[in-house]
Amino acid sequence: MTHTSHDHTAPAPVSLASAFWFWLKLGFISFGGPAGQIAILHQELVERRRWLSERRFLHALNYCMVLPGPEAQQLVTYIGWLMHKRWGGVVAGALFVLPSLGILIALSWVYIAFGDVPWVAGLFFGIKPAITAIVVQAAHRIGSRALKNNVLWAIAAASFVAIFALDVPFPFIVGVAAAVGYVGGRVSPHTFQTGGGHGASNASYGPALIDDHTPTPAHAHFSYAGLVQVLLAGAVLWAVPMGVLCAVFGWDHSFTQMGWFFTKAALLTFGGAYAVLPYVYQGAVGQFGWVTPTQMMDGLALGETTPGPLIMVVAFVAFIGGYVKALLGPESLFAAGALAACLVTWFTFLPSFIFILAGGPLVESTHRNLKFTAPLTAITAAVVGVVLNLALFFGYHLLWPEGFAGAFDVRSALIAIAAAVALFKYKRGVMEVITLCALVGLAIKLIPL
C-alpha cells in the first residue's frame, strides 16, 4: 500500500485522558451490531489514528471472537488495556456500554409508561416485522459462514429440533455441541476446520503506536501473580453484589435471580447476541415471566436502534421486569426498573472484563493468529438452528398475535416481507430498514383508512 508523506512518522503517544474522550464518543456512535462496530473500530484505530497496526488489531480480534460475550466490547477493552494497563481496559470497556445503558433505561421507561400512546404503538407496529426479518437474516448470515459441510448442517438441524420440538435448554445444546466438536475435531479434523474468518493481513496504514514489531508492553507480559490478581478481583466483584442481593432480598427474589440468570447468559453468548436470545427468552419469558413475548420483540427493536452491544437488550428485559413487578414497591417503579437494568448490565459484562484482563497477557505472549477450535465450530453450527427457532418464534407471535385460533395479521406479514426483500435483495442496512418500517407502522396506525 502506498503511503503519503505524513504516514512515515508514528503518531504521538496518547494519554489515558485523551483516550477517555475517544472511548466516550465511541460509546455514542457504535451502531450496527458487532460487524458494524468492528468496522468503526478498524477505521478509527487502525486507519485514522494508527493507535495499533492491522496485524495487532486482528490478533486481538481473533481472541475476542473465540470468547463468549460481545466481541466488539471485548476488543475495545483489550485495546484500552494494551495501551493504558488495566484501568485503560476498564475505562474503554465501560464507556462502550454506559451510554447504551442510559439510553435504554430512558427508552424502556417511555415504552412501558407511554406504550399505549398511538404514535408509540404505531412505531412498534412497524418495527416488529422488521426485527423478525432481521433475525432471519442473522440465521442466514451465521449459517452461510458456519455450515461448510453435511456434518455441521446435521448439528444445526439437531439443535433446531432439540429447542423447537423438545424444548431442550440452550446451555445443554451448547454443551453437547462442544462435546461433539471436541471428539469430531480429533476423529476428522478437516470437518471442523473453519474457512475464512479474521486471518492475518499485510495491510499497512503507516507506522502505528503499537506496530507489528513493537515489543509487548511491560504490563502485558504474562505472570501468574497478575492472573491470580485479576481472577480474585473478578470473584470479589461478582460475589459482593450477589451476596448483598441475597442478604437484602433473599435468593428467590427477582433481583437476585436476575443477577444469577444473566451471569449464566454471559458465559453462553457464543455466536453473538442472537445466539443467546433464545436462552434469555426461555428464562425471562417462560421461566420467570419478567417480560411477555411481545415485549421481548420490542426490546430487541430498541436494542437494534441504540448504540452499544446488542446484548444490551438484557437491560430492557430487566427494566421491564423490575418496573412491572414493582420490585421496590408501587411508589418506586422507575427506580426498580433502573436498578434491575444496572444490576443485569453488571453481571452480564463482568465476565468479559475478566476474560480480557486475565487472558490478554497469554494472547500477547504469541503473535500467531488464533484459530477457532473444533468445539467452537460445532457450537456455531448449533447456534444456527437455535437462531432459526428464534425467527419462527418471533414470526408466530407477529403473524398470529392471538394464537393460531385468532386472525392472521396481513399488514405485519407484508411489512416483514418488504423488510426481508430490502435486507436480502437490496442489502440495505439494519437501521435504514427499521426506520422505514417504523414510519410505515406509524402511518398505518395514525392515518385513518
Q: What is the pLDDT of residues 345-395, one digit of tens each?
A: 999 999 999 999 998 898 777 554 344 457 777 877 887 887 788 788 778
Q: Taking the CB of residue 142, how many other CB atoms lie within 10 A of it?
A: 22
For residue 386, being part of any structural domain is answered with: yes
Q: Which three cell numbers stand for residue 337?
A: 426498573
- More confident of the two residues 139 and 154: 154
Measured CA to CA, the distance from residue 112 to residue 106 in angstroms comes to 10
Enumerate helices (H) and strands (E) in the chain, giving the number of each: 16, 0
Residue 317 has pLDDT above 90, yes or no: yes
What is the four-CA torsion angle of 226, 60, 144, 271, rounded to 10 degrees?
30
Q: Measuring CA to CA, which residue among 17, 129, 30, 170 is closest to residue 398?
A: 129
Measured CA to CA, the distance from residue 62 to residue 71 in angstroms comes to 9
Give buried/exposed letters for 253-288 (b at 16+ CB in 10 A, else e).
ebbbbbbebbbebbbbbbbbbbbbbbbbbbbbbeeb
444, with CB counted inside 10 A (0-12, 13-18, 19+), is middle
Residue 4 has pLDDT above 70, yes or no: no
For residue 199, being part of any structural domain is answered with: no
Residue 195 has pLDDT above 50, yes or no: no
Measured CA to CA, the distance from residue 108 to residue 294 in angstroms comes to 14
Report residue 89: phi and psi, to 5°: -65, -45
Instruction: Compute the residue count for the chain.
Output: 449
pLDDT digits (tens, 9 = 90+) for 83-122: 999 999 999 999 999 999 999 999 899 889 887 677 777 8
What average pLDDT is seen over the chain? Answer: 84
- More confident of the two residues 423 and 377: 423
Measured CA to CA, the distance from residue 318 to residue 160 in angstroms comes to 27
Residue 11 has pLDDT above 70, yes or no: yes
Q: Which three cell numbers stand for residue 96?
A: 462502550
pLDDT digits (tens, 9 = 90+) for 24-49: 988 887 765 666 677 778 878 988 89
What pLDDT was estimated at residue 238? 97
What pLDDT was estimated at residue 24? 94
136 Ramachandran zone, left/alpha/beta (phi>0; psi -120 to 50): alpha
Q: Measuring CA to CA, which residue among 246, 227, 210 is closest to residue 14?
A: 210
- Type of residue found at 13: P
Q: At what angle do helices 374-399 and 293-304 cross, to 10 degrees?
A: 120
Residue pair 126/415 in contact (Cβ under 8 Å)? The answer is yes
For residue 83, being part of any structural domain is answered with: no
Q: Taking the CB of residue 234, how many other CB atoms lie within 10 A of it?
A: 17
What pLDDT was estimated at residue 116? 66
Using alpha carbons, list the distances in angstroms from residue 319 to 272, 279, 328: 22, 18, 12
Q: Measuring CA to CA, which residue among 169, 189, 165, 234 is closest to residue 378?
A: 189
For residue 400, being part of any structural domain is answered with: yes
Residue 409 has pLDDT above 50, yes or no: yes
Long-range CB contacts for residues 258-263, cutoff 8 Å, separation at least 24? 258/290, 258/318, 258/321, 258/340, 258/343, 258/344, 258/347, 259/343, 259/344, 259/346, 259/347, 260/347, 261/288, 262/314, 262/318, 262/344, 262/347, 262/348, 263/238, 263/347, 263/348, 263/350, 263/351
Task: For residue 194, give the 3-state DSSP assignment.
Answer: coil
Task: For residue 52, give the 3-state DSSP assignment.
Answer: strand
What pLDDT was estimated at residue 373? 58
For residue 272, being part of any structural domain is answered with: yes
- More confident of the two residues 300 and 151: 151
Of 54-63, 139-148, 266-275, the range with the lowest mean pLDDT is 266-275
Provide the pLDDT confidence category of residue 170 given band limits of 50, 70 and 90. confident
Residue with cell 466481541: 71
216 Ramachandran zone, left/alpha/beta (phi>0; psi -120 to 50): beta
For residue 12, being part of any structural domain is answered with: no
Measured CA to CA, the distance from residue 380 to residue 23 in angstroms comes to 30
Range of the domain at 398: 99-194+221-446
441, with CB counted inside 10 A (0-12, 13-18, 19+), is buried
What pLDDT was estimated at residue 270? 63
Half-sphere exposure for 20 (CA within 13 Å, toward CB): 5
For residue 415, being part of any structural domain is answered with: yes
Q: Which three cell numbers stand for residue 369?
A: 493468529
Domain count, the chain: 1
- Type of residue found at 269: T
What pLDDT was estimated at residue 36? 63
Residue pair 32/310 in contact (Cβ under 8 Å)? The answer is no
What pLDDT was estimated at residue 137? 82
For residue 112, being part of any structural domain is answered with: yes
**Longest CA span, the chain:** 70
Q: Taking the CB of residue 367, how many other CB atoms lie within 10 A of it?
A: 13
